[in-house]
Structure 1
């Protein structure tokens, strides 16, 4: 296929680009001029300078494509308006550009479990559940999905909703591995809090299925296996892989909230992004972040193939080999 990836220099985007190149597909990447492209090093791709907030650059980028994988977005911003401008309205810009290009290319949008919000401890989210995001990022991802699917009578559109993703190159879970490397195991009061975790290559595999199968059109799919872990278990597996003995630090919820608020004050005053913030604290204190992959298995015959325990081990080894720990 002739594919365009927005957000190709990110963690998931780079793994998707590698998979497309391995299949000998034609790959173009929409990148901002200031983007760090080290994750794409050595890959044969066409670089297109642009931004999802720049309609003119999008119109040039989507022309002649078979599939547009829309992954670009922001995970951190100071205001709700900024999340909406990039994540939601950026998706509208992509859809409008694709319509102007003829409306024949398929759009595969990367949504997020964050749009659904926390689940209950005993019931994973299913795709039919209404959105109940816990913060602005999740709200903007939910709006992006609503916008994309509003075009389904004019564009071939489908959506993947990953939960927390693991794998070499991931920054989102790095903080927990850094703590473990220092011999610290955080235990937050009020647990356990189950999580759905998924390997980055399983997310890529489902995105490639969504790019091809007619049954995927007009639909959204979680990508999830049957196994749920807790943050405590993630830390324990990481510690064993790194050969580290940890001491447990018990952290009451009110202490975590206070530390997160203080960290946000420091970030606002200095511009330095700290590992802890109020968004992360709310995520950690939620009763559960779980979702079901039953719909993808039922409609597409897709199940994640990678054991998340092995994904944690693989991440830990990679962090250590790269000197990130």
Structure 2
């Protein structure tokens, strides 16, 4: 069984790669030339160089594979050029899936996001059936993933593809080399850069549990269905306090209203446009924070046998990995550049 994994040099993709190797799959990974391949070190995988914007490289990558795990995406909350993100997340996904279909790949798992799902006004956890609409979605990344998922559903119906969609929540754990926006929250807290918080919430899951959920979707997922792969719902303050409890630090933080944060984020974005460095807060991220992003994984638990460990363990493992890999005050600029 040969499986192609896209995004395997990234955070979630590398966890999916490790999970498949443990399950006995032969793994081929799609990696851009000159990309950061630290997450591929010491793993017996075949590397197919290519790019989601290069259709010919995608045809080479899928050749001879039995299954596809499309995990790769341009995941940034601030983008000076959103067209690149849309090209990768939507057009690249379409080209890859059609190439896999033409190759006759027998099983496809597409990694979407809970960003495509609706949110309940009362803050209750959303599920796969919670209504969503692009007009209510903030940010280029979330909109690109929403449009990509709609396109994937259409392709699945039109071509009768053997495809299942998974919607991960916020992954936490080892291997977050970039790091992701959620990983940055942990790092900023470790570096005493989180003196304040806003009233928002996230669904936190261990990256390895989400990765195993991909394998379960491959084994048991229904064609054309989507499954939330999540964990524990936590407010931002609970996340910060959990980090403090693990590190042994006691911090008093102030609550800042979102209405106050919006002009601050606006200024940060203006500075970022001049310095070409990612701002610490963006208008889109603050708008997202207006809503509590809680989700239920009950469907995946019931139909796939999905399970997840407590968020405390995910946060602890992320902290340990960041410390063990030199993400300190001294080296932080090197890793975040």
Q: Tell me the equivalent position of 2:272.
A: 267
Q: What is the rounded CA distance, in whole Å, between the counterparts of 1:232 and 1:274 in structure 2?
A: 21
CA deviations 1:80-130 (Å, max 9, x no partner) are 43332110111110111012212x331111101111254434321111223
Who is 1:224 aligned against? 230
Give the structure-1-normalised TM-score.
0.91
Q: Offset at 1:140?
A: 1.1
1:125-153 C-alpha deviation (Å, 9 max, x unpaired): 11122333222211111121122222224
Any idea what the Cα deviations from partners look like across 1:161-199, whole Å, max 9, x if unmatched?
Answer: 01111112332223322332344544445x3x3321111
> Which secondary structure does the structure 1 equivalent of 2:227 belong to?
strand
Secondary structure, aligned partner of 1:4: strand
C-alpha separation in 2, matches of 1:273 and 1:107: 34
- Map Cα deviations across residues 251-287 of structure 1 (whole Å, 9 max, x no partner): 232332122111211221121123322232223x223
Q: Which residue of 1 aligns with 2:333?
A: none
Cα offsets for 1:14-49 (capped at 9, x unmatched): 111112222231111111102100111111111111
Q: Does 1:286 align with 2:290?
A: yes
Corresponding position of 1:194: 201
| Residue of structure 1 aligned with 2:213, choices 206, 209, 218 | 206
TM value normalised by structure 2: 0.88
Is residue 59–residue 98 contact of structure 1 (8 Å, CA) maintained in 2?
Answer: yes
- Give the conservation status (yes or no) of the 8 Å contact 1:165–1:198: yes
Q: What SS does the aligned partner of 2:209 have?
A: helix
Equivalent positions of 1:292-303 (< 5 A) are 292-303=296-307
**CA 1:240 to 1:37, structure 2 compared with 1: closer, same or farther past 3 Å?**
same
1:5-154 map, 5 Å: 5-76=5-76, 77-102=79-104, 104-116=105-117, 118-132=119-133, 133-152=137-156, 153-154=159-160
Identify the range of structure 1 (32-41 vs 258-267) with the bigger mean alpha-carbon deviation: 258-267
**C-alpha deviation, 1:212, in angstroms:** 1.9
Is residue 2:207 matched to residue 1:237?
A: no
Deviations 1:209-265 (A, max 9, x none): 11122x42111110124x321111111111121222323133232332122111211
> Does the 8 A contact of 1:186 with 1:232 survive in 2?
no
Match of 2:190 among 181, 194, 197: 181
Moved over 3 A (4+): 117-122, 182-189
CA–CA distance in 2 between the matches of 1:118 and 1:246? 31
Tell me which residue corresponds to 1:313. 316
Secondary structure in 2 matching 1:279: helix
Q: Classify 1:88/1:175 alpha carbon distance in 2 versus 1 (closer, same or farther; 3 Å).
A: same
CA distance in 1, matches of 2:255, 2:302: 41
- Structure 1 distance, partners of 2:281, 2:123, is 27
Contact kept? 2:118, 2:130, Cα under 8 Å: no
Q: Any conservation in 1 of the 2:172–2:183 contact (CA below 8 Å)?
A: no
2:155 alignment partner, SS class:
coil
Deviation at 1:290, TM superposition (A): 1.2
SS in 1 for 2:259: helix
Unaligned runs of 5+ in 1: none
Distance 2:174 2:138 in 1: 27
